[in-house]
């Protein structure tokens, strides 16, 4: 069968050469697909098999990382400096709290994209109550990529750094695991790899601080705004996965943010909807903005229709206790 494939391939090549320019252009087309292919496999991870059907109706399972290895040329292009970032960009995120219903798709998409365990969350969804009379709301919280990042200030080795494009990353090949950054982050955005995991040994994907994959024992990791996707013009995993379009992402220089379905002006969105930043008074100058949870699209109770374990997490919030007493959840 393989021989057949090769033969037909050769035939195509011959044809191609005969056809001259047309085939050559075809080649370009194919190489474009190839780069697209590599782009998509970065999302999927090794160890993950994907089902494909071949032309003769056979179902095959391909380990996505094997396909990617051949085509991983993207990162080597034009002296790109991971510590400098994507030139001329200032990335911002806007999270529309009015639309969030705790579907947790952002959490799952992020975990899949960064090869995280079920309990490791770059994106966490908190239940926040502003005052005792207000109804609580769902509050997706990732790293704020602050302009005055307390974590970067205290890092003794420069393992965590802030780039020109606003993104704060962790280089787990430089991190010594002192955890000072974890204690200095007021947003609890950082998590630590407490033990060794088999997935850390999988070197099929070359490590980059931009993907945080593969992880390393005894080092710190956190939300990275997915610069690998941004460089391909794609939204971060969380924004891509959100079914409600809660998460807007974009470039502050361009003053445009998008949630995939809708593209709006960043400044207009913030001004008209009363956008704010979490814990503004601390002076960390975050780059994640929130639109207040007014005129919510979903009932708070809808958010509890996830699994029991997730439901359990919020049991100590006074409002939830009250709801439980009333039998509403």
Partner 1 sequence: MKSNLYNHTFFISIIAALLLCTNGIAQQIDLSNYSMRFVFKTVKQADNTRLLEVSFIGFNDNDRKDKIPVFGAEIQFLNVLNDEEILLGSSKTSKEGTAQLILPENQKYVTDEEGYINLKARFNSTDALSEEVADIMVKDLHLDLNLSEIDSVKTVTLTAFTVNSLGDKIPVSELDVIINLNTMLSKMNISEGTIIDGTYTFEMTESFAGNTKGELAISAVIEDNDEYGNIIQEKKVQWGTITKQVKANDHSLWTKAAPIWMYVVLSILLLGVYINFIYTIVNLVKIKREGDNIKTEPRKNYTVY
Partner 2 sequence: MDIQSRKRELFKEFAPRLETTSLATKIYIGFLVAIILVGIYAFYLQMAKGQIVTGMRDNVVWGIYEVNFILLVCISYSGAFISGILHFFHTPWKTAIARIVEIITVLSLLIGPIYILLCMGRLDRLHYLFMYPRIQSPITWDIIAIITDIVACFIYLYLTFIPDFAILRDHCEERKIPKWVKKLYKTLAIGYQDTKTQRDRLHKITRIMSTIVIVLAIVAYTVLAWIFSLTLQPGWNSTIFAPYFIVGGLFSGVAFIIVTMFLVRKFYKLEKYIRKMHFKVGGIILLILAMLYGYFTFTEYFSRWFSHKEIDTNLLDALFTRYFWVFIFANYVGILVPIGILFFKKFRTINWVTIASVIALVGIWLNRYLIVIPTLETPYVPIQDTRIDYIFYSASWVEIALSFAGVAAFLLMFTLIGKVVPLVPMNYILDSHFTTKKVKQKVNKEISE
Beta bridge partners of 258: 249, 263
Beta bridge partners of 248: 94
∠ CA 297-299-302 to the nearest 5 degrees? 115
Q: With CB under 8 A as the rule, give the number of residues binding partner 2.
A: 46
Candidates 76-84, 96-104, 183-191, 240-248: pick the segment binding partner 2 (CB under 8 A): 183-191
Q: Which two tokens stand for residue 163?
A: 């780039």
Strands (E), 146-261: 160-162, 168-170, 191-192, 220-221, 247-251, 256-258
102 binds partner 2 (CB under 8 A): no
132 binds partner 1 (CB under 8 A): no
Beta bridge partners of 257: 250, 264
53 binds partner 1 (CB under 8 A): yes
Q: Which of residues 277-306 bind partner 2 (CB under 8 A)?
A: 279, 282, 284
Contact in structure between 109 and 238 (CB atoms under 8 Å): yes
Q: Which of residues 145-174 bind partner 2 (CB under 8 A)?
A: 150, 153-159, 174
145 binds partner 1 (CB under 8 A): no
Name which of partner 1, partner 2, none residue 187 binds, using a CB cut-off of 5 to 8 Å depending on partner kind: partner 2
Candidates 11, 196, 272, 285: give the one binding partner 2 (CB under 8 A).
Answer: 196
Classify strands 91-96 and 288-291 as parallel, antiparallel or unpaired: parallel
Q: Which of residues 226-285 bind partner 1 (CB under 8 A)?
A: 230, 233-235, 249-256, 258, 260, 263-265
Looking at residue 135, the DSSP 8-state letter turns out to be P
| Distance in angstroms (rounded) separating the CA atoms of residues 221 and 223 | 7
Measured between alpha carbons, how far is residue 35 from residues 28, 51, 211, 212, 321 in Å?
A: 11, 20, 18, 21, 52
DSSP string, 235-261: --HHHHH-TT--EEEEETTTTEEE-SS
Candidates 193, 211, 212, 240: give the one binding partner 2 (CB under 8 A).
Answer: 193
Candidates 54-62, 131-139, 179-187, 196-204: pick the segment binding partner 1 (CB under 8 A): 54-62
Q: Which of residues 118-147 bind partner 2 (CB under 8 A)?
A: 119, 124, 126-128, 141
Candidates 12, 157, 294, 299: give the one binding partner 1 (CB under 8 A).
Answer: 12
Residues at the interface with partner 2 (CB under 8 A) = 119, 124, 126-128, 141, 150, 153-159, 174-180, 182-184, 186-188, 191-196, 217-220, 279, 282, 284, 309, 312-314, 316-317
């Amino acid at each position: 069968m393989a021989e057949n494939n090769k033969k037909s391939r050769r035939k195509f090549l011959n044809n191609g050469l005969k056809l001259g320019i047309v085939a050559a252009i075809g080649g370009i087309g194919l190489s474009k697909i190839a780069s697209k292919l590599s782009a998509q496999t970065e999302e999927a991870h090794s160890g993950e098999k994907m089902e494909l059907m071949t032309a003769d109706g056979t179902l095959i399972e391909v380990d996505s990382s094997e396909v990617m290895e051949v085509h991983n040329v993207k990162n080597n292009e034009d002296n790109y400096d991971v510590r400098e970032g994507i030139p001329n960009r200032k990335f911002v995120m806007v999270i529309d709290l009015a639309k969030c219903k705790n579907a947790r798709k952002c959490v799952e998409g992020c975990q899949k994209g960064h090869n995280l365990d079920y309990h490791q969350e770059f994106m966490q969804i908190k239940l926040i109550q502003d005052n005792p009379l207000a109804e609580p709301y769902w509050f997706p919280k990732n790293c704020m990529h602050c302009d005055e990042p307390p974590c970067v200030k205290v890092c003794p080795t420069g393992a965590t750094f802030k780039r020109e494009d606003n993104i704060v990353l962790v280089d787990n090949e430089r991190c010594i695991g002192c955890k000072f950054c974890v204690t200095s982050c007021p947003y609890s955005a950082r998590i630590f790899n407490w033990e060794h995991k088999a997935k850390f040994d999988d070197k099929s994907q070359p490590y980059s601080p931009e993907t945080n994959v593969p992880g390393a024992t005894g080092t710190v990791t956190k939300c990275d705004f997915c610069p690998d996707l941004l460089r391909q013009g794609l939204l971060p995993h969380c924004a891509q996965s959100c079914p409600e379009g809660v998460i807007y992402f974009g470039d502050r220089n361009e003053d445009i943010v998008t949630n995939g379905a809708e593209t709006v002006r960043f400044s207009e969105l913030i001004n008209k909807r009363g956008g704010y930043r979490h814990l503004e008074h601390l002076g960390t100058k975050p780059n994640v903005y929130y639109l207040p949870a007014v005129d919510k699209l979903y009932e708070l109770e809808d958010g509890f229709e996830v699994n029991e374990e997730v439901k359990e997490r919020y049991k100590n919030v006074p409002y939830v206790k009250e709801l439980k007493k009333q039998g509403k959840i």
